[in-house]
Structure 1
């Protein structure tokens, strides 16, 4: 399993962008925890990671949108420090959808 930090910036200056934004967000919700509006913390195996990349590539406009995925050190999500209203979440417990 790998710890990932996924961020995205979808150009929403047209109706197609708004649709892409919703689709990317919904996709990411199926893989990890939303910790900010366009930021997800994800724990995935290699197969899930590759499926996620393929699905993102199908959704976004590669000329206008940006997705960044950072591979963190093993169990890197357990070492997150927060300030303000941010809360620590458990990434390896069962998720209830």
Structure 2
């Protein structure tokens, strides 16, 4: 499993751009935890990462949108320092909804 930081900037000046933004956010929510408006922390295996990247590439407009995926060191989310209202999130624990 790999710790990933996914960030995105989707052009939203058009209705199509706002739809893409919602699709990108919903897709990322299916893989990880939102930590800021356009930032997700994701724990994924290689197969899920490739599937996420392929789907994102299909959703975005490659001429205007920007997605960045950072691979963190093993267990990188354990070394997160937060300030303000931010808090460290339990990525590898069971989630109760």
Bin the TM-score by the shorter chain.
Answer: over 0.9
Aligned partners of 1:27 and 1:95: how far apart in 2? 18
List runs of 5+ in structure 2 lacking aligned partners: none
Q: Equivalent residues in 2 for 1:1-97 (5 A)?
A: 1-96=1-96
CA deviation after TM superposition for structure 1 residue 21, in Å: 0.1
Unaligned stretches of 5+ in structure 1? none
Distance 1:49 1:95 in 2: 20
Aligned length: 97
Report SS of the residue matched to 2:12.
coil
Change in 2 beyond 3 A, CA 1:62/1:96: farther
For residue 95 of structure 1, report the CA deviation from its aligned partner.
Answer: 3.2
